[in-house]
Amino acid sequence: MDFLQYMDLSPTLPLLFTLSFLAATVLPIGSEWLLILLLMKGHPPVFTVLTATFGNYLGGCTTFLIGIWGSDMIIKKILRLQTSDLNRAKQLYGKYGSWSLLLSWLPIVGDPLCLLAGILKTGFFRFSILVFSGKFLRYATLAYLVTSGSARQ
């Protein structure tokens, strides 16, 4: 809370949306602490969870689009993959990998999973269902733990 006061910010749903969005891109920040703070201050769990989920989902979509638009550069200049390696990766990812998007909420690996989905041209509908579901379940579980814990006190 001291950080928010120092930055002259108050804990609000728009701030949660922004922080959740940024946390799903390349910035190494978390949004869970603000979700918990808002819930402890009495914000409605449904709106709080949906705000964080949509922000984090849209941040994941941004990373996905970077993968789509930058795929040639990423594949050729950064990863230096041969066509045969890329085809094999696409085959493996198509068979098993897209389900990994349910884990897109995880720190460190989540953003690269969204980027990889873009690079390998995962269908946007499939991407959206899996990423939104994973991110929603994370925030909903966290909200449940916070609200059920405060209900017992």
Is residue 106's pLDDT more than 90? no
CA distance 122 to 144: 31
C-alpha 89/C-alpha 4 separation (Å) is: 43
Q: 71 versus 62: which is more confidently predicted?
A: 62
Q: How confident is the model at residue 3 (pLDDT cuts 50, 70, 90)?
A: low
117 in Cβ contact with 64 (< 8 Å) = yes
Tell whether pTM > 0.85: no
Q: What is the pLDDT of residue 77?
A: 67
The C-alpha angle 57, 61, 42, rounded to 5 degrees, equals: 20
**What pLDDT does 6 receive?**
47
Q: How confident is the model at residue 111, as a pLDDT?
A: 84
pLDDT of residue 128: 97
Q: How confident is the model at residue 151 (pLDDT cuts 50, 70, 90)?
A: low
Look up residue 94 and give its two tokens: 């198509």
Position 140 pLDDT exceeds 90: yes
pLDDT at 153: 54
- CA-nearest of 133, 129, 98, 102 to 116 is 98
pLDDT class of 15 with cuts at 50, 70, 90: very high
Q: Are 9 and 37 in contact (CB under 8 A)?
A: no
Q: For residues 70-95, b (16+ Cβ closer than 10 Å) or e, as one string?
A: ebeebbeeeeeeeeeebeebeeebee
Q: State the sign of the Cα–Cα–Cα–Cα dihedral 123, 125, 128, 131.
A: negative
Q: How much is the mean pLDDT over the chain?
A: 85
Say if CB 48 and CB 13 are below 8 A apart: yes
